[in-house]
Amino acid sequence: MARPKDQRARREQIIRATLQTIADHGIAGLTGKRIAAVAGLSPRLIAYYYPDQDALVEAAHQAATDRYYWTRQAVVEAELTPTDKLARLMHSGLPRGKDLQLSQVLDEISVNASRSPMHAALVTLLFEREVSLYTAVLEDGAAVGEFELTDAADVLARNFVALEDALGMHLLANNSAMTIDRAERQLASYARAVTGVAIEPAAGSATPQARHSG
C-alpha cells in the first residue's frame, strides 16, 4: 500500500493534470483518458484515486482557487506603498503568464457554477477573498492620504474585482476587440477615477507610474 506522503503526491499530480486538461479542453472535454495522458498515468490509476469525476473537478477547483488567491496575496505582502500594491493587484487580476492556466480553469468552471452548489461556493469564496485584498489596500491608501476614495473601500473593491472578471472573460474568449493593453487601460481609468491617483497596472519588478490627478 502506498504511503500517505506518496498518495498526496499522486493526488497532486492528478490535480495538476486535471487543471491542464480543463484549460486545454474545457469541462465538456474532460475525460479520465485525457487526464491520464497529461499525468503520464493509466486511466485505471486515475479512477482508483478519484472514482467520481465530479469529486476530482471539485478538488481541482479548490486547488485553483487557493493557488490563484495566494498568488495575489503574495503581491501585496511586501513593504510597499498602497499605490504600488494597487498597481500589483491590478496587474495580477488579468489573465497572463504563469497564472493564465489558473485563469482559464476558473473561468471555465465558473460557467458551470450554477449547476453545482460546491462550485458556486468556491466562486463566492474567491470573489470575497479578492475583494478583501483590494479593500485592505484601498483603506490603507486612504488612511495615509495617498487615495481620495469616491466611495466606501469595500464597494470600490467589489467593482475592481467585477471589472477584472469581465475584462478577463473577454481576454480568455479571444475577443479581438479586447487586448491586454486595452484591459490595463480600463483598469487604470477606473483606478484614477476612484482614488484620484493615476496608477498603471505593474508587475512586481516594475515601477508603477503614479501621480495625483487634478
The C-alpha torsion from 118 through 9 and 65 to 89, rounded to 10°, is: 170
Segment 166-181, tens digit of pLDDT: 999 999 999 999 999 9
Distance CA 75, CA 8 (A): 28
Percent of the chain with pLDDT over 70: 93
* Whole-number pLDDT of residue 3: 62
- As given in the structure block, the three cell numbers for residue 8 are 498526496
Q: Is the pLDDT higher at 163 or at 122?
A: 163
Give the confidence band of 35 by pLDDT, cuts at 50, 70, 90: very high
* Whole-number pLDDT of residue 211: 43
Average pLDDT of 146-152? 98
The 3-state DSSP class for residue 212 equals strand
- Whether residue 208 is predicted with pLDDT greater than 70 in this model: the reply is no
Mean pLDDT of the residues in the chain: 88
170: Cβ contacts below 8 Å, ≥ 6 apart: 177, 178, 183
Ordered domains of the chain (ranges, CATH): 1-51 (1.10.10.60), 62-212 (1.10.357.10)
Segment 83-95, tens digit of pLDDT: 999 999 999 999 9
- Whether residue 196 is predicted with pLDDT greater than 50 in this model: the reply is yes
* Whole-number pLDDT of residue 18: 93
Segment 110-138, tens digit of pLDDT: 877 777 788 888 889 889 999 999 999 99
Distance CA 154, CA 156 (A): 5
